[in-house]
Each structure stands twice: as structure tokens, then as C-alpha cells.
Amino acid sequence: MPPFFAFVVLLLAGPAFAGPCPDWGAARAERELAALTARLAAWDDAYHRRGDSPVSDALYDQARGRLTAWRHCFPEVAAASEAASVALPAGEVVHPVAQTGLAKLDGEAAVRAWLARRDDVWVQPKVDGVAVTLVYAAGRLVRAISRGDGRTGQDWTARARRLPAVPARLPAPVDAQPLDIVLQGELYWRLDDHVQAEAGGAGARGRIAGLMARDGLSDDAAANIGLFVWDWPDGPPTMTARLEGLAALGFAGSAAMTQPVAGMAEVRHWRETWYRGALPFATDGIVLRQASRPPGARWQAEPPGWAAAWKHPPREALAEVRGVEFRIGRTGRITPLLHLLPVVLDGRTIRRVGVGSLARWQALDIRPGDQVAVALAGLTIPRLEGVVWRGLERPAVTPPAEDDYHALSCFRPTAGCEAQFLARLEWLGGAQGLDLAGVGRGTWRALLEAGLLTGLLDWLALDAERLTAVPGIGAVRAEGLVARFAAARRRPFAAWLAALGAPPSAEPGPDDDWRALAARSKADWRTRPGIGEIGAAELRAFFTHPAVEALAARLRAEGIVDF
């Protein structure tokens, strides 16, 4: 790290990432596995017992995958964490047919392999809600059971009877007695023209889980809960007959969204259609179902071989913080930046994410070793969503003192000022300043490292010989830099004001020069349209600051126009 960047604080939690296994000793590995095991157990309990979702499915899956990976990395301590993974009671009501759950297929290759071993496959959207079992006797709803752990769940009958989407009585077939049937489906929050690719889950699953966990449910909330029936375990033997039967029972919408697929192209078509098209609910992927399957009595509370999920690209990634860097901008604003163990999100490898502000970093108290959620803003820019859990070992992180940095600090690269000074140079040469094409952060950094810039305007005196001596700058490039630096001298007064960092409201009039602007009092500045008390104070402070006055004197000596 160059000496003039020493103030940028970068704390690393152990060595740089060199593989999938953390560089831990046995004692720490045991503590980390135990903590993650307990955390997952708490999440499971919240979901199965209370219908609450503390984290998104994507983050849960990644955390579960991380625990599995850590157990492979540290087999000598894995047994203790596995023993601690005791399933908690999920409810007091036994499902008449087990809720199986779904294996998750990882990418197109896995989907192709799954399809290759099966025929008569159908696809439906994987509705992002809460699963429920509905039991009808003689056509009447007698029991509604939350998913729980797939074997037992909570009794939701009273709540389900409040929902207009859940029929209290099924229509009897024309030529038969009312049905005794079990249906499995998803309660979802109704959304208008919801596009999953743009809006994500919109918190819909958590809202449903919260409502169904309450004792009270308002009529308005109940009316906004929909039902998607995704299976009739002991229905007719063919998928076509089951779907026709569901439609006749009043579930035509669910039946219409179960479509036959003949191959990968059709599977991809429906996945993209439901991901990017408007739907009345949130969806986190698709479900592939083989038409033939065992009778319901043989179903187990584990992923079956005849159904699987292909989830949409995750909108969040679980990332470990490796370091915290504090960048200081031209105006003295301190921006924390998290360095992450690389993660892949929507095909992009993410290694860094901004926190936004020093105040937000302080509120979140993020340190190396913490696990954070990262999403993509606008599908391109990494965005910090929050802290998922904190590391067991959290080294101290000391940010720069806010009072030391402001709009009029660091016009020289003195100790602690290197970062802001470099930012001033970048601004000076950028399009909003002198527009020095091809002169960016790397060039200014090289000149600083070579000791050629002790002030903001020292580059005006550099010739080709001194530039050529800078590592990485050859003779041809040096000549180009000399030409650009010379052209900067001819830039207008307004461009120079902006380059020096004057407030935007300092735009000079046709008769203004430096002396005229510097002579203005706060009261004079207040007479300008749009300039209030604060703006006038900022302008007066800029034009009377000793460092700025010294820069103006230098430009006057260099013959720059209007100085």
C-alpha cells in the first residue's frame, strides 16, 4: 500500500480468500459451526412454529449451504453441530398427507438431467407464500394445517375459514357424493401486475406468514389473501384429469397455470414468462412435476423424486465481510466500503459494496467477519441490504474523525489528507473541471507516488523529462500529458473555479473575475437569486480560505485568465 494512502483503513479478518474453507483452528471452527447451527435452528423454529420468515429463501438456502460446506471442511468438529440440529416440534396437527418439500435444481444442466429421466412433465409457478394443507370431508372444509415440518403443522382452520379464497364447501360432482379430499397449496398475498424480475418478492411471503400467525385477521386482509392449489395428492391418476377436476372444484386459476412441457426450451419459456411477466402473486421460481407419482399415503416429508424446483436467480447474496475501508471524497464526505469474500449474484462477481454513509455504518456496526446481504440495484450496482448475522470474532474498526474533513480541508497531501487530496485532483481533471482527457485517478496516483505533487497545482510546472521518469509513464505519454496540461491553461475562468472546488452557485457573471468574487461579503452573495444564508456562508468561506487564496495567487502568477 503506498504511504500516502495509509489513512485508508483496511482490516482483514484473516488471510485473503484462497479457497472454500475458512482458515480456522479447531476451536474456532467448533464455535462457528455451533453458532450457525443455532441460528438456522432459530430460523426454522420461527418459520415452522410461528410462520415467520426472518430471512429470505435465498439467504436461508445459502446459509444452509455454508453450514454444509463448513462441516465438510471441519469433519473433526462437525459431529457436534449435527447433533445439535434437532428438529423442533412444528405443530400439533398431523398432515393426512405429508408435505414433501422440493429439491432445488441448480442451473440448466441440472434441469436437463432431471428431465432426461422423466416423461409427462408439467410446470407451474413456485408461488412465494406459505404452504397449507386443506382437508375436506363430504365437501366441507374441516381442517387447514400450516406446513410446519411437513409431518405436523399448526391448526389454521379458524383463520382459513375467514379467507374468501378458501372454499368452505366444494361443489359436488354431478354424478357423485360430495368429496372427501386433501388439497395442498400456497396462501399468497395478492399483488397487482407483479413482475418478479423487477420487484422481487416485495415482502409478500413475510406478510402472509405474519397474518396467519395472528389471532386476529381483518376482513380486508383476509380478502387480499389468495390460494394457489398446487397438488391433489390422491386425485385422478393423470395430470390432465387432476387439473380438470381442480377446475370443476373451483380452482380453475391454479389449474390453468400448470402447463405440460416437452423439453428444456419449453421449461425455459415458462420460467422466463413467469419471471418477467405480470402475475397476481410473487414467485421465486418454477416447479417441475412428473404426472405419475406414488399415492399420498407413501409421501414423506422430504423432497421427492417426482417433483423439483428451479428457482429464479437470487436477488440477494450472503457475503462475508473481509475488510472495512473508509474513502474520503473531495468534499470531505466519508464513505465506508465493505470488502467481501467474492460472491456471484446474477452472473456478476461481487467483491465490494458501499455502505452509503458513515452514519449508516455506525448504526449497523459492520466489522470483518460479519455476514451481510447484498443485492443488485438496477441489476448492475451492488447494494447492501443489511447484516444477516455478526461474526463471533469482531476486530475493532476505527473510522476517520468526521470533524477533520470538510469542503475546505486537505488541499495538500499531508498525513491523513492523501485520500481527499487525490479526490480533489480527480475532480480537477474531470469533465466537471478542466476536462483533462486521459488523466484520471491512476495518473494522479502515479504522480503522487513519485513525489511530484505537494500541492493541487504542481502539475502545471511538470515537463516531459520529469514525467518520463515516473514509473509507468513513457516518453510518448509524457508528451501527451504536457500537451493536456498546457491546454488546461486556456480553459475559461468558470472551468477553473469548478476545478478548484468552488460551490456550484459561484458561477461567475460576464464581468466577474477572482478579485470581484473574493471581495463579496455574505450579504452580497445573498442578493443573488437562489442563494440563502447557508449558501452565502459557504461561498464566503471558500473565497476567503487561506489555502484557496494561495491557489488563486498561484494561478494569477501563471497567467490564468481572470485570476
Model confidence pLDDT, tens digit, residues 312-322: 988 889 999 99
Looking at mean pLDDT, say which of 7-11, 507-511, 553-557 comes out highest: 553-557
497 pLDDT more than 70: yes
List of residues 6+ apart from 262 with CB closer than 8 A: none
Class of 26-84 in CATH: mainly alpha
Residue type, 372: V
260 DSSP β-pair partners: 122
Residue with cell 420487484: 199
pLDDT by residue (tens digit) across 343-354? Answer: 988 788 999 999
Closest CA to 424 of 516, 510, 328: 328
**Which of 6-15, 243-252, 428-437 is predicted with the least confidence, judged by mean pLDDT?**
6-15
174 pLDDT more than 80: no
List of residues 6+ apart from 39 with CB closer than 8 A: 63, 389
pTM of the complete model beyond 0.85:
no
| CATH classification code of 93-311 | 3.30.470.30
Give pLDDT, residue 452.
96
Helices (H) and strands (E) in the chain, counts: 21, 18
Class of 3-14+315-393 in CATH: mainly beta
Q: How far is CA 236 from CA 69, 121, 156, 438, 465, in A?
A: 42, 16, 27, 71, 88
Cα dihedral 532, 538, 540, 543, rounded to 10, equals -140
Give pLDDT, residue 56.
81
Burial 403-439 (b: 16+ CB within 10 A, else e): eebeebbbbebeebbbbbbbbbbbbbbbeebbebeeb
| Confidence label for 379 from pLDDT (cuts 50, 70 and 90) | low
Please state the separation of Cα 455 from the chain's center in Å: 40
Half-sphere exposure in the Cβ direction for 129 (13 Å, CA): 27
Give pLDDT, residue 4.
33
255 pLDDT more than 60: yes
404-557: CATH topology is DNA polymerase; domain 1 (1.10.150)
Starting at the edge strand that comes first in sequence, how are the strands of the sheet with 140-146 ordered? 140-146, 130-137, 181-189, 225-231
pLDDT by residue (tens digit) across 384-397? Answer: 999 999 999 889 99
Alpha-carbon distance of 36 to 30, in angstroms, equals: 10
3-state secondary structure of 104: strand
- Extents of the domains making up the chain: 3-14+315-393, 26-84, 93-311, 404-557
> Rounded to the nearest 5 degrees, what angle is found at the Cα of 139, between the Cα atoms of 133 and 143?
30
| Confidence label for 208 from pLDDT (cuts 50, 70 and 90) | confident
15 pLDDT more than 70: no
Alpha-carbon distance of 40 to 107, in angstroms, equals: 25
List of residues 6+ apart from 350 with CB closer than 8 A: 317, 319, 340, 342, 343, 344, 374, 382
The 3-state secondary structure of 159-223, one letter per residue: HHCCCCCCCCECCCCCCCCCCCEEEEEEEEECCCCEEHHHHCCCCHHHHHHHHHHCCCCCHHHHH
Alpha-carbon distance of 282 to 444, in angstroms, equals: 49
Contact 349, 31 (CB under 8 A): no
| Confidence label for 9 from pLDDT (cuts 50, 70 and 90) | very low
DSSP for 133-161, please give it.
Answer: EEEEETTEEEEEEE-TTSSEE-B-HHHHT
| Confidence label for 16 from pLDDT (cuts 50, 70 and 90) | very low
Backbone angles phi, psi at 61, to 5 degrees: -60, -40
Of residues 264 and 378, more confidently modeled: 264
Alpha-carbon distance of 264 to 111, in angstroms, equals: 8
Give pLDDT, residue 49.
63
Q: Any idea which residues carry the catalytic annotation?
A: 126
